[in-house]
Chain A
Amino acid sequence: MPQKKSKRQILEGSQAIAQTINNIRPAVISAYPITPQTHIVEDLAKLKADGKAKYEYVRAESEFAAASIVEGASATGLRTYTATSSQGILLMAEVIYNIAGMRLPVVLTCANRGVSAPITIWNDHQDAMSIRDAGWIMFFAENHQEALEQHLLAYKIAEKKKIPAMVNIDGFVLTHTYEGVEVPSIAEIKKFLPDYKPKQGEYLDTAKPVTFGAFASPAYYMEIRHELHEDLRDCQNDILGEYENLKKLVPSAIKKSEDKALVNNGLIEYYGPKNPKVVLIAMGSLVGTVKDAVDHLNIRRNVKHYISNKSVGVLKIKTFRPFPAKSVLAVIKKAKYVAVIEKAVSLGATDAPLAMDIKAYAKNKIKTKIQSYIAGLGGRDITQKMISKIVTDVQNKDDKMKFVG
């Protein structure tokens, strides 16, 4: 029996996500196992096998098939779910674009992992970045609780705006970690996320037939893509609004706000002083390490360019697509230096993907120096020491992109 009221417990990240997905009550789940996503879909399959779940669990022969199955199921007007990682999302890529283009509210968990070659099973964000232009909402979670809250937001916004959503959780770092978390119950979730009931004409139905993903001539294609872009940009307002609703309706689902967080909404969290000299920007589980590193900076007084921790802030990007450019600029405009620390690389580009977005929007608007740092590729541990070094380095004159670690 599903419990009525949630309570805090210690769970593996994958377990917490699987239980939450079950409580969200999707109708169809299809997935193909890949490290480090495996535990999520194993747990979902087990819940089904044990008679604790009502969804249809469709085993697929590949990620391409899994994505196609949820695409089809979603087109019939059902709530769907899938999860993957790394090569899996690359194999899904064609369908990922189609799902967004057909405006299907699929929700996908990406247990972030680097991409081949060389083969790596370990965590970074290169897999997510490879499909960042596909037209999906993309969340990045710092910890278990935030991952759960983002899955609820993902379904809410996806079904409201007819745009698919992806929740990114760091492979191993979150999927395989045990920590305290509160899984909201079915009853609690229902208050925020009622059953998905699309209108007739919005889904495949023999009573009122429609065609999805049809041919669009040059006279229409551009308008359709433009509309998707505008609607995706527009999701920022919905994410802000629904985050507040979620806070009210299912307070247990929300990650507790940090004492020092001056801004905390569905798009970003800013942790630090009001007028920072340096702002460190990161996404996902790395943010926790960065916060601790910044708090520890004041005991390392002998470092070159030492500045008190009172002048270093941490900006977490929770929503990467649509990119919350204005919210980011409002935080960094007064800072002198910004270091964007990323677990991804856009091979051959001038900067890493997140830094590119920030730099492009900030150009000619603010004087802040923005520098791109790449760390933790292929699971290299990112230490607090590395973060401290970046705080020092960003205050130097050069602004070249750097690989750290």
Chain B
Amino acid sequence: MKQIRIHGRGGQGVVTAAELTAISAFNDGHEAQAFPSFGVERTGAPIEAFARIDDKPIRTREHVYHPDILIVQDASVMTTVDVSHGCTEKTIAIINTSLPKNAIKLSIPEKNIFPIDATKIALDILGRNIVNTIILGAIAKSTKIITLDSIKKAVKQKFSAKGQELVDKNIKAVVKAYNL
């Protein structure tokens, strides 16, 4: 089983990122689960969301305490939340930051840290600092647990009710992150 923990702030699409990860994995033929850590549902509050991917039905409902993949959608939460708690030497971390690798203070081996300036891509393509789809592209690139095609399909499933333009922009953002 692969376990994913996503940190960020309410309103940044953290929960949607976990859901899209699970939908993508399900599209790839895996069993998947995604759920939020139920923070107070208000913009700005630090929140967590989780996803699990496995080849057999997923029964456990506990939070993800030892993530295989750690995602930080907003680097500023790292000043108030110990995002790397429970991470192991094998944990892969994808951090949304404009800073270089060696400037990221995390108790994870540097080779496993993948910084990405997702905010810049989001502002360029989406016009808003909502980075979840960009992070998805980064997950597919650095971990291979989900495929680019399944992400595109998941984005369509999730956003089609909000219009074709939003779907197209988000797919463009995913591809941009994947090809970085």
Interface range on chain B: under 10, 10 to 19, 20 to 34, or 35 or more?
20 to 34
Q: Mark the stretch among B59-67, B75-83, B129-137 that contacts chain A.
A: B59-67
Q: Is the CB of B38 within 8 A of A379?
A: yes
Residues of A within 8 A of B31 (CB): 179-180
Residues of A within 8 A of B180 (CB): none
Q: Is the CB of B62 within 8 A of A178?
A: no
CB distance from A295 to the nearest CB of B (A): 9
A288 lies within 8 A of chain B by Cβ: yes
Q: Mark the stretch among B6-14, B19-27, B114-122, B164-172 that contacts chain A.
A: B19-27
Q: Is the CB of A384 within 8 A of B32?
A: no
Q: Is the CB of B59 within 8 A of A291?
A: yes
Q: CB < 8 Å: which of B18, B26, B33, B35 contacts A172? A: B35
CB distance from B30 to the nearest CB of A (A): 9
Q: CB < 8 Å: which of B15, B38, B62 contacts A383? A: B62
By beta carbon, the residue of chain A nearest B60 is A292
By beta carbon, the residue of chain B nearest A271 is B59
A27 lies within 8 A of chain B by Cβ: no
Q: Which A residues are within 8 Å of any B CB, using their own CB?
A: 9-10, 12, 35, 121-123, 143, 170, 172-173, 176-180, 256, 285-286, 288-289, 291-293, 379, 381-384
Residues of B within 8 A of A256 (CB): 57
Q: Is the CB of B41 within 8 A of A35?
A: yes
CB distance from B172 to the nearest CB of A (A): 24
By beta carbon, the residue of chain B nearest A293 is B60
Q: Is the CB of A10 within 8 A of B60?
A: no
- Give the docked Cα–Cα distance between A343 and B60 (Å): 16
Q: Is the CB of B60 within 8 A of A178?
A: no
Q: CB < 8 Å: which of B26, B33, B40 contacts A177? A: B33
Residues of A within 8 A of B23 (CB): 10, 178
Q: CB < 8 Å: which of A121, A177, A180 contacts B35? A: A177
By beta carbon, the residue of chain A nearest B19 is A178
Q: Is the CB of A176 within 8 A of B60?
A: no
Q: Is the CB of A288 within 8 A of B38?
A: no
CB distance from A252 to the nearest CB of B (A): 15
Q: Is the CB of B35 within 8 A of A383?
A: no
Q: Is the CB of B33 within 8 A of A178?
A: yes
Instruction: Give the one of A10, A35, A176 with max B CB within 10 A.
Output: A10
Q: Is the CB of A381 within 8 A of B58?
A: no
By beta carbon, the residue of chain B nearest A13 is B35
Residues of A within 8 A of B65 (CB): 383
Q: Is the CB of B61 within 8 A of A289?
A: yes
Q: CB < 8 Å: which of A121, A123, A173, A292 contacts B59? A: A292
